[in-house]
């Protein structure tokens, strides 16, 4: 074989070796890259590898994108292009447990955001410049939550929505919670289909102030430390109320309540035992002020009934009314009762222009003061039905009169005054006059009769005294001094007409 042939053969061997090497490389590339052209002449390129690196064109020494897989899982890393060291900006991976994981990092490689799954629900956390946690957002059954964190990871504010419980059909509920650095709740806002509730307060008393806005109406509650004193306010469809009270809620304690509504308005004060002490009300028909005893029973009541009357009443501990004043457009009255017996009392009444006063004992009148046709009248009565009698003292246009009578009003004795002098009349049990004594101007006389028949007359006149005695028919049978029968003059005198 000539040298030229040997040289050619060597060259062919080199070419064959290079061709074999290229075929192996091509076979290796075809295992990674495959090209498929479908019936529509659409070319599809498929790449399969363990690591895939993309480098920037202007600096091929750097890595911009890195896709890979290992025994733990797969990952996709996007790197910053300008730092001197290789720094991952975005990392997307699937961990060994099959959970996806996305991280965002700063140029200092500090974690800024972390996204993954927790119990098959999404979880997102964000961090500040020094990699301290800032906020966490997660999905939960029936809703989700967002927590704002302090640097040590404790939550300072949490927003939660839950639609998995009993309120699911009504849209669930949403809560916003604020806490201290030690994770103690100091404010909580809850909203659901029925309205909203806001509670706030210092550590250990998260409900020091509560604002409620519900379908039935809004309310405000405020509690002092240790819940020693509180204020409750509410506004409902029928009424609104403000209550200042001891303890957390109104109950058997001291409190003051101010309320208003369709019924009017009222102010009630309760003593420490819970019993009502003062009640002030302005109602649709009347206004009232009531003072109560230690048992909550009214003792003093001042009231005004619009267009009708006003009254003041006082009661003693025994429970019955002891003093009452009433005034209306027709009448004014004062009634004072015995502390021991409500049927024993003193009553003063003025009806129109007619005043009257009554003293009563055990439901029986003892003394009456009033006005008669001729002037003032005073009537005194016996204490009992068995020992009953009546005395009347009255005034007139010229003088007055005193009458004593039985319980039925039958006059027994009348002492009065006339325009010509005083007079005393004594009657029998039927009220018929039997004795008459009187003064007529300068004269005086006494008249005694029997069943209306003239009996005895005694008269003092300017001519002297005369005593006349009559028989049953009224004829004079004797006189003193003796009278001359032939002298028919009236010089002896007699009781004047009307005596």
What pLDDT, in 10s, does the model give residues 365-386?
888 888 877 788 888 888 776 6
> Distance (Å, rounded) from C-alpha 481 to C-alpha 493?
12
pTM above 0.75, yes or no: no
DSSP strand pairing (453-461 vs 464-470): antiparallel
Structural domain including 462 reads: 420-499
What pLDDT, on a 0 to 100 scale, did the predictor assign at position 493?
Answer: 44
Q: Say if 425 falls within a structural domain.
A: yes
248 pLDDT more than 50:
yes
Query: Could you tell me the pLDDT band of residue 319, with boundaries at 50, 70 and 90?
Result: low
Out of 173-177, 347-351, 395-399, 439-443, which region has the weakest mean confidence (pLDDT)?
A: 395-399
- Give the residue among 309, 333, 310 at the shortest CA–CA distance from 323: 333
Q: Say if 499 falls within a structural domain.
A: yes
Total domains in the chain come to: 1
DSSP class of residue 327 equals E
- Mean predicted confidence (pLDDT) in 102-126: 90
135 pLDDT more than 90:
yes
CA distances from 242 to 116, 226, 234 (A): 51, 21, 7
Q: Say if 259 falls within a structural domain.
A: no
Residue identified by tokens 């009992």 is 384
Under 8 Å between Cβ of 381 and 366: yes
Q: Say if 277 falls within a structural domain.
A: no
Q: Say if 489 falls within a structural domain.
A: yes
DSSP class of residue 362 equals T
| Max CA separation in the chain (angstroms) | 230
Q: What tokens does 316 get? A: 């003693």
State pLDDT tens for residues 278-291: 999 999 899 999 98
> Distance (Å, rounded) from C-alpha 29 to C-alpha 250?
86
In this structure, what CATH number is given to the domain that contains residue 481? 3.90.930.1
DSSP class of residue 495 equals P
Under 8 Å between Cβ of 370 and 355: yes
| Phi, psi torsion values for 285, nearest 5 degrees | -115, -15
Q: Say if 466 falls within a structural domain.
A: yes
Q: Say if 465 falls within a structural domain.
A: yes
Q: Say if 478 falls within a structural domain.
A: yes
Which residues, in sequence order, are bridge partners of residue 402? 393, 415
């Amino acid at each position: 074989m000539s040298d030229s042939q040997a040289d050619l053969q060597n060259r062919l061997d080199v070419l064959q070796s290079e061709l074999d090497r290229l075929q192996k490389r091509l076979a290796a590339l075809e295992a990674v890259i495959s090209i498929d052209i479908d019936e529509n002449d659409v070319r599809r390129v498929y790449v399969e590898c363990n690591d895939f690196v993309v480098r920037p064109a202007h600096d091929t020494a750097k890595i911009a994108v890195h896709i890979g897989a290992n025994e733990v899982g797969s990952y996709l890393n996007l790197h910053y292009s300008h730092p001197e060291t290789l720094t991952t900006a975005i990392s997307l991976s699937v961990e060994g447990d099959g959970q996806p994981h996305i991280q965002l990092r700063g140029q200092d490689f500090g974690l800024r955001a972390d996204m993954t799954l927790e119990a098959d629900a999404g979880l997102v956390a964000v961090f500040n410049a020094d990699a301290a946690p800032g906020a966490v957002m997660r999905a939960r059954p029936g809703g989700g939550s967002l927590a704002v964190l302090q640097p040590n990871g404790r939550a300072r504010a949490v927003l939660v929505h839950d639609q998995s419980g009993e309120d699911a059909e009504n849209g669930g509920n949403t809560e916003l919670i604020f806490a201290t650095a030690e994770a103690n709740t100091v404010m909580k806002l809850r909203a659901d289909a029925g309205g909203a509730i806001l509670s706030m307060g210092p550590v250990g008393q998260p409900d020091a102030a509560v604002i409620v806005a519900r379908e039935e109406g809004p309310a405000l509650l405020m509690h002092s430390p240790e819940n020693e004193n509180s204020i409750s306010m509410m506004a409902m469809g029928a009424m609104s109320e403000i209550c200042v009270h001891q303890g957390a809620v109104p109950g058997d304690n001291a409190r003051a309540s101010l309320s208003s509504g369709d019924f009017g308005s009222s102010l009630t004060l309760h003593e420490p035992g819970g019993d009502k002490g003062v009640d002030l009300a302005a109602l649709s028909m009347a206004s009232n002020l009531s003072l109560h005893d230690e048992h909550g029973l009214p003792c003093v009541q001042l009231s005004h009934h619009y267009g009708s009357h006003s009254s003041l009443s006082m009661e003693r501990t025994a429970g019955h009314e002891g003093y009452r004043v009433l005034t209306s457009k027709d009448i004014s009255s004062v009634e004072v009762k015995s502390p021991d017996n409500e049927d024993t009392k003193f009553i003063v009444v003025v009806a129109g222009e007619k005043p009257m006063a009554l003293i009563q004992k055990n439901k029986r009148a003892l003394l009456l003061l009033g006005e008669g046709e001729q002037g003032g009248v005073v009537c005194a009565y016996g204490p009992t039905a068995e020992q009953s009698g009546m005395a009347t003292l009255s005034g007139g246009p010229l003088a007055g009169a005193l009458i004593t009578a039985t319980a039925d009003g039958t006059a027994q004795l009348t002492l009065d005054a006339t325009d010509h002098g005083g007079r005393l009349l004594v009657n029998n049990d039927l009220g018929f006059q039997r004795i008459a004594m009187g003064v007529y101007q300068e004269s005086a006389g006494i008249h005694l009769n029997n069943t209306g028949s003239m009996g005895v007359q005694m008269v003092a006149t300017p001519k002297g005294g005369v005593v006349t005695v009559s028989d049953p028919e009224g004829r004079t049978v004797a006189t003193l001094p003796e009278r001359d029968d032939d002298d028919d003059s009236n010089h002896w005198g007699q009781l004047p007409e009307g005596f």
